[in-house]
Amino acid sequence: MRTLDTTDLRILAALSRAPDSTTVALAQSLSLSRNTVQARLARLTGEGVFLPFERRISLDALGHPLTAFVQIHVHQQQLTQITEALKAIPEVVHAHGLTGSADVLARVAARDAEDLFRIHSRILRIDGVDRADTSLAMTELVPWRTVPLVNSLLERG
């Protein structure tokens, strides 16, 4: 992926403020031509700059208000199979490979404590998983955000 230029960043910042803006409205607010905005949006979309829409769906609205982070310790040789098994658990909404003491960090959505226990047990049953340590999220202190980063890049210009 190429580096985003100032025009790209301005478009992203404007979309963050008003995500349902039309191409014409974006062009007017940024003093750019409609064709420029349309071409930039097409290129940004093609380059994978925009995350999937599903990232905007609230887990609370889906009846899963509990968020937990599970640090999973695995046999590295089985990581591919373990990853596939994690993908088969619908409540595992995100996972990262890590350095450090744990090998995988999974974000899990649960209906309640009993549901979380069920999900945790299912993770432990995956062949190649040695141990899983679960931490319950008490509150979201800093929500997912990119606008401050976009703005800092614009300021550096």
**Token reading at 109:** 């959505």
The tens digit of pLDDT for each residue in 60-113 reads 999 999 999 999 999 999 999 999 999 999 999 999 999 999 999 999 999 999
Query: Torsions phi, psi of 82, nearest 5?
Result: -65, -40
Whether 12 has a pLDDT exceeding 90, the answer reads yes
Q: What is the rounded average pLDDT for all residues in the chain? A: 96
Q: How many CB atoms lie within 10 A of CB 102?
A: 19
The pLDDT of residue 1 is 62
The tens digit of pLDDT for each residue in 107-138 reads 999 999 999 999 999 999 999 999 999 999 99
Beta bridge partners of 97: 104
Domains annotated for the chain, with CATH where assigned, are: 6-50 (1.10.10), 66-136 (3.30.70.920)
Stated pTM of the model: 0.86
The pLDDT of residue 2 is 74
